[in-house]
């Protein structure tokens, strides 16, 4: 039940099963972008 009358609240669904994520990387600041990409790929 919502905390406010007449305002519906959506329950979050944090299950990411079946989701696919795309990543884009710029060449503007390659040193930082490569570190972020490396960390993201390692964390999967």
DSSP string, 16-44: -TT--------STTHHHHHHHHHHHHHH-
Sign for the CA dihedral angle at 10, 15, 21, 34 comes to positive
Neighbour tally for 2: CB within 10 Å:
9
pLDDT by residue (tens digit) across 1-44? 556 778 888 888 889 899 888 888 888 899 999 999 899 888 76
Q: How far is CA 43 from CA 1, 5, 15, 23, 39, in A?
A: 36, 41, 17, 14, 6
pLDDT of residue 32: 92
pTM, to two decimals: 0.46
């Amino acid at each position: 039940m919502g905390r406010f009358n007449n305002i519906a609240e959506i329950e979050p669904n944090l299950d990411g099963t079946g989701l696919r994520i795309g990543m884009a990387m710029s060449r503007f600041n390659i040193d930082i972008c490569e570190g972020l990409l490396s960390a993201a790929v390692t964390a999967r």
